[in-house]
Structure 1
């Protein structure tokens, strides 16, 4: 295991600036519950007494689409529920920009950082910066190669992501079914160098094995998560393949929207799938024509939930709770937004489907997101009563391929922490979360 600045033994200079209330956390790990400080840490403090948590900072790749707008809404609503000041900034996929924003946020009083780093390689930089300042950090989506929260230190509270390979394969399977199980598709990829994009690429490859009569035309072209780049790539596909195209796999909804406009301009009447669950895409799914260019499905990780869950966990951390090793890297649940959920429940190995209108009302309606933020907290609700309100499953060694960790790309001299060999501990945490969560969209 790599020692990143001995973060386990260093609280960080910011903690000392918080005065006696932070000092009351004592030796940090000594305040925790059973094991290495997991859910048993619910006894740390009660009702937030003694908490030094006043302000949270969030970082995101962009704030220019519905996905991150929904994240920002959940982030603000959850922070308000905890009485926290909050700030969110776009890092524009630039690590230097991200670290500069973080430094400014901490100097401005931020007590935690949540969100997604600039890219996979930016995660260790942000984790080390958080550790140096003694503030807890929750990361989603991006993740460094062979880099675990245990390597970073206890300030790296949790990494979470929907299963990138499996969920990427789910939308591919819906596309192939919409194509009638045969024909040709083109593939617009996401931002390369991220777990989400590369994992979805692998999911497409896995799905293709089950559909021998489906072929991909040409090599995938980049969309980089944005509409204009996706339009350019789709224009290239149309110029090259024209009417040979029977479907389009886009790796997020912004890309799907860009692809859709090109298909409409060229009267290319094909199904398209996306990923993220933006408002615009859900409406396109709901109103899709019988024929013609159409978006038929998207997967959503419920961004408002992601934000609120991260705040709940950093709140717990500030109140003495420490997660067990299996809780520190977890796959999260999500929903497939489709017009006919009953059709897909018998076809796909997935547990959550939602109609577009139900999804739009719940996520983009006039009310707040449908979550009880404080029920997510072990400290507030107790070890036996907290409710994540989403599926969470520990990421095991056998799952590392979904993070694109292979023996070939393991750094020389790196040794995985021994805790990842304790299958009983992973089984226990998986069962606890399975027992605890309820579905607010059910």
Structure 2
């Protein structure tokens, strides 16, 4: 009989048992030896016991914990891998399967595995409090982008919550929606518009909806008549579109809240015999590969090109820097970056840099780092301090909540303006131009 090294668990001395568990993990790159090493560590601290949760390589230094693996997050994960390689950081990606508690469990297991840093794209913003507490207790740095808990900032946590950053979504989605409404007015004389949103309560969805709605003020012959959630994925985007078209037979334009949803929108239109780009005009957000190709083909009108690879590079460099002794100023712990509006006019330039770029990285990832490039660092995008009151407009504050003192002081004493000017002075590699990396 085989000797069982962990008597409270399945018989992990058997190859078949280990393989069965590896097949059910929601991460990649884990060897049998690494799996058994982590199981040993987990048994010692009592950190396991939830079937099907992720267990990552014990050599992992950077983890990307994403809420699902739609096209945006798949592209982002590949870019995180490339950026981590640029900094010689082992890397692991984990799929939260749209479950905030799963992401908390995954992070706790990453702590056991010895990861030095993590970056989150959260399924549930309320999970950020538990994540922040675990990070502080275990001296692990993390960053977060897209979803979060409104009115809970890095300053409400600890220095271990090193960065919250997102594109400035109000302006970006307003610009994309304006492209749609302008075209609808020109081609159809105006008409009915519907929206396929993301996930209800998701802060990015709220910001994009505000930007979308603001665009209608400039195009009085258009009107938003209905909306349904598409939950940031193609399948739900298709179902929502089909329902919206059944309820609204005169639709001439659709605003998708991201490009994965937009792909579902296009599929729903084709299934009804409608020609995307002719019978119904469609816009999205995020600048994914399929969206850019659809714009070039004339099926999608526009998207906001914020580049999944940019978030990967920005956050990887930040984790590298803070784990190597660099300390951000208060105004650098929450950031916006400016997106491009991608239309047929500039889609081919974007495609060459971000989509059909082969093995050429779209950014010089090491130049994003203050530690690797202390004098000639370049964030390679228009980046500036984030204004929480502007970011969360329309979202009620908790009773008695005020923004933390360190943040308020940075706004009052000119640090916001100093950081913005410094970033602008170091911005020499245009986000909308060719890659700074050569094959």
The answer, yes or no, to whether TM exceeds 0.5 is: yes
Q: Which has the higher contact order (CA 8 A, sep 6+)?
A: 1
Judge which range, 149-158 or 369-378, deviates more.
Answer: 369-378
Q: Which residue of 1 aligns with 2:238?
A: 231
**Matching residue of 1:79:** 84
* Offset, 1:221: 0.7
Deviations 1:41-89 (A, max 9, x none): xxxxxxxxxxxx9711111121232x11221121011111111111011
1:150 lines up with 2:155 in the alignment: yes
- Partner residue of 1:375? 367
Pick from 243, 262, 271 the counterpart of residue 268 of structure 2. Answer: 262
Three-state SS of the structure 2 residue aligned to 1:217 is: strand
CA contact (8 A) 1:119 1:193 kept: no
| Aligned residue in 2 for 1:356 | 347
What residue in structure 2 maps to residue 241 of structure 1? 248
Q: Distance in 1 between matches of 2:422 and 2:287?
A: 28
Alignment of 1:105-124 (within 5 A): 105-124=110-129
Which position in structure 2 is the counterpart of 1:5? Answer: none
Q: Quick check: 1:127–1:152 contact (8 Å CA) kept in 2?
A: yes
SS where residue 301 of structure 2 aligns? strand
CA contact (8 A) 2:288 2:307 kept: no
The answer to whether the aligner puts 1:413 opposite 2:423 as a matched pair is: no
Provide the residue aligned with 1:251 in structure 2.
Answer: 257
| Residue 129 (structure 1) shift | 2.1
Q: Alpha-carbon deviation of 1:210?
A: 1.6
Normalised to the residue count of structure 2, the TM-score between the two structures is: 0.79
Q: 1:423 offset after TM fit, Å?
A: 4.9
Which of 330, 335, 348 is residue 330 of structure 1 equivalent to?
Answer: 335
Unpaired segments ≥5 residues, structure 1 = 1-16, 18-52, 289-293, 341-354
Superposition RMSD in Å: 1.9
Partners in 2 of 1:129 and 1:170 — Cα distance? 39
Question: Where does 1:23-422 land on structure 2 (aligned, <5 Å)?
Answer: 55-65=61-71, 67-180=72-185, 182-218=190-226, 220-242=227-249, 244-268=250-274, 269-288=279-298, 294-340=299-345, 355-364=346-355, 365-382=357-374, 384-396=375-387, 400-404=389-393, 406=395, 409-419=396-406, 420=408, 421-422=411-412
Mapped to 1, the partners of 2:392 and 2:243 lie a distance apart of: 30
Q: How many residues align?
A: 364
What does residue 37 of structure 2 align with?
none
Encode CA deviations 1:311-338: one digit per residue, 9 max, x unaligned: 1111110121111111111111222221
2:288/2:308 contact within 8 Å kept: no
Deviation at 1:308, TM superposition (A): 1.6
Cα distance between partner residues in 2 of 1:319 and 1:252: 35
Contact 1:138/1:159 (<8 A) preserved: yes
Shift of 1:440: 5.0
Q: Deviations over 1:99-154 (max 9, x none)?
A: 11111112112110113122222222222222222111111111212111111010
Please give the secondary structure, in 1, of the residue aligned with 2:300. strand
- The answer as to whether partners of 1:171 and 1:274 remain within 8 angstroms in 2 is yes
Among candidates 408, 428, 433, match of residue 423 of structure 2: 433
TM superposition shift of 1:254: 1.2
C-alpha distance in structure 2 between counterparts of 1:274 and 1:152, whole Å: 33
Q: Distance in 1 between matches of 2:302 and 2:267?
A: 16
**Alpha-carbon contact 1:329-1:394 (below 8 Å) kept:** yes
Q: Is the 8 A contact 2:168 2:339 kept in 1?
A: no
Secondary structure, counterpart of 1:410 in structure 2: coil
- The answer to whether the 8 Å contact 2:232/2:260 transfers is yes
